[in-house]
Structure 1
């Protein structure tokens, strides 16, 4: 799986970083999403799905590799 983020859509709520801080962070410059691990381990699928579903602006997408 691969995580894709659209910083143009991101509103910087930080739900992704709160849900999975090992996978997401926020830019120091503008607070938008930073994907730390674009291809996370299979053991973190539930965390990624949680972050994607909690994103209020729908800036995150989870794609199959």
Structure 2
């Protein structure tokens, strides 16, 4: 669920949430412990039929530890 979004210059910021159990198995990942996350930089290109293309800029990879509130 998107809670808010804003655009400042060429930067889009979005605040969102999702259920811990989002029933998207096998695509869902655990939020317990430390998990690898990818933070997208910029928007993905889309093909003429709406298919997603590769990122122009490689996403930033971080290990996020939600229960410890640290990246």
Structure with more strand by fraction: 2
Q: TM-score range by the shorter chain?
A: under 0.3
Greater Rg over alpha carbons, structure: 2
Bigger RCO (CA 8 Å, 6+ sep): 1
TM-score normalised by length of structure 2: 0.25
More helix by share: 1
TM-score, scaled to structure 1: 0.26
